[in-house]
Amino acid sequence: MDSTGLEAELQNLEDAGLRRRLRRVESAPGPEVTVEGRRMLMCASNNYLGLAQDPRLIEAAHRAMIRYGAGSTGSRLISGDTELHEALEKRIARWKGTEAALVFATGYMANVALATTLAGEEDVIFSDEWNHASIIDGCRLSRARVSVYRHADPGDLESKIIAAGPARRRLIYTDGVFSMDGDVAPLPRLLEVAGKYDAFVVVDDAHAGGVLGKRGRGTMEYYGLSPAPRIIQMGTLSKAAGVEGAYVAGAKAVIDYLINRARPFIFSTAPSPAAVGAALVAVEIMEQEQWRRDHLRALVSRLRTGLRERGWRVPEGSTPIIPVIIGEVGETLRLAARLDDAGIFAPAIRPPTVPPESCRIRLTVTAAHRMEDVDRILAVFTTEG
């Protein structure tokens, strides 16, 4: 007997088509992967620039492990810092155009650190309704008042700020590129509102770094904006960079404050030498190898256009996150199964990841894909469209 009731709850998820199971990938990340013995076209990876298998990153990771060991062994404040971690932070700050940067083990930790360290009971956080779960959780843990504004709506944001009244500190939090729809935040207008009400703006650039902007610097560069003291940029090293970890980039005072007060930084083991060494090389490649973004944009344009021509519901956009909105759970699962049968790895996205009645197939392409791969995807959607 299941005295905890968990089996019954799992069965409820099963009945609703919402139970999830892990699928075993038996090869290195790339445009094609081996999934439980089958060779499949990978269309669900955030490896946007195709760097996860780059020999230069692998060699850098190996060199870092030889010199610094397999693990960091503790918090940087307790077990000591390394030149490697400092070098990565300086390189990220130079890339993002900020005074300083600080690396974290994960993007989730970085977002929780920012929200809980910069905001408290006397403060208000204004959060886009489509922000990532890590931002939502950080807001909840901060004990600040939280006001959720309509997605990408600066007018609603301003009305929420006025309604919230006085606060010690105001924090506007937004994804740069939203992870499920792939749209870009209206950052210039958000900054205008922030300027009127003396607010900080935190931009989660997890899906924008390496992808947007001439040198891959993200949402700020995409809009031609310059860094400023009240703009804080968070990003990950696990997507376009092809490694793991995250960073916060901003004013030196913000970074120093995080070092002293951010619990996810203070009480966590530092990112491993291998990840940091590989990330150093990845940042250099992301900034310098523009051809990767050019090829990626061409693939994205072909796939988006082809899906729309075949009658599928695909929101406007230009990022490599391409959602095919289906709506109902069962229909989405059936489409995911057809894709799977065709050797295309693109799982169904269901609640709680997306709201009910907005289930979808979230397609992604990377710079490692070819035009022939896009045509292979479109062939399945042609058959079923």
**Residues 6+ positions from 247 with CB-CB distance below 8 Å:** 88, 89, 92, 101, 102, 103, 104, 110, 234, 235, 236, 237
Write the class of the CATH domain 19-49+290-384.
alpha beta
* Region label for 362, one of left (φ > 0), alpha (ψ between -120 and 50) or beta (otherwise): beta
pLDDT at 105: 96
pLDDT at 385: 44
- In terms of Cα–Cα distance, which of 49, 33, 40 is closest to 376? 40
Q: Residues of CATH 3.90.1150.10 domain(s) within the chain?
A: 19-49+290-384
Res 1: pLDDT: 52
| Whether 307 contacts 336, CB under 8 Å | no
pLDDT digits (tens, 9 = 90+) for 68-118: 999 999 999 999 999 999 999 999 999 999 999 999 999 999 999 999 999
- Given this model, what pLDDT does residue 3 score? 65
| 55-288 CATH fold | Aspartate Aminotransferase; domain 2 (3.40.640)
Q: Boundaries of CATH 3.40.640.10 in the chain?
A: 55-288
Low-confidence ranges of the chain (pLDDT < 50): 384-385
The residues carrying an active-site annotation are 179, 207, 239
